[in-house]
Amino acid sequence: MINYELDGKVAVVTGGASGIGKACAHAFARSGADVSIWDLNQSALDAAADELKQHGHRVHTAIVDVSDSRAVDTAMEGVVGELGKVDIVVANAGIGGDISPSGDYSDEGWHKVIGINLDGVMYTQRAAIRAMKKSGGGSIINMASILGSVGFAMSSAYVAAKHGVVGMTKAAAWEHAGDNIRVNAVGPAFIKTPLVEKSLDAQTLKFLESQHALNRLGTPEEVGELVAWLASDAASFATGAYWAIDGGYLAR
């Protein structure tokens, strides 16, 4: 694994107790950063924190509902108070939402997905910018999806939110380049997380694998490596971009 030379940096990862978020947190801690992971599940946070501490750096945890702007602001202030500053933020928390055609999508289902997957990313990005402006800059990575650039049937709220994340990322990159803040979006294809494996039958899983040129799903660790690079000084000229990590899904 690559060391991205993040010594002395402080990284925040929302949805950091499992899956892609936890993989990002491990990549940061392995590369020398102190890490704050946010999630809704205390037991999962505690377990993830125990794993991260093995890298020898400080680990901070917080229970945060990212769809609550006040909770996000309070948590970000808590990170600064506990760890001193914020250099890297990954707005990763998200949900899949209802599986339903657009014509039947419920108000409740729509608002829940938009509230977490779009509003939550905006609140996290906004709090990150405020903190980073005080400490001289940083890198924000917003977790979009391949569905931030293409459609997918029965998931209109998710697709709309992820397209919104990509657009918001591009706007913020232009707005805050002068503050020494880089903002990028990452677009994973279907990733083999425990949640995905649990929720899909073997036939569906096989079909999804076939939709990628590499004929498999990605791993959280593969996404984490891209995110860690974007957080590092090696990506100093990268901002306002959408970085697909998709096994060839979008290459058709």
| DSSP per-residue codes, the chain | ------TT-EEEEETTTSHHHHHHHHHHHHTT-EEEEEES-HHHHHHHHHHHGGGSS-EEEEE--TT-HHHHHHHHHHHHHHHS---EEEE--------B-GGG--HHHHHHHHIIIIIHHHHHHHHHHHHHHHHT-EEEEEE--GGGTS--TTBHHHHHHHHHHHHHHHHHHHHHGGGTEEEEEEEE-SB--HHHHHHS-HHHHHHHHHTSTTSS-B-HHHHHHHHHHHHSGGGTT--S-EEEE-TTGGG-
* Residue found under tokens 């030379």: 5
Active-site residue, selected from the candidate residues 4, 158, 242, 249: 158
Cβ atoms of residues 92 and 121 within 8 Å: no
Reply yes or no on whether 158 is catalytic.
Answer: yes
Catalytic residues: 158
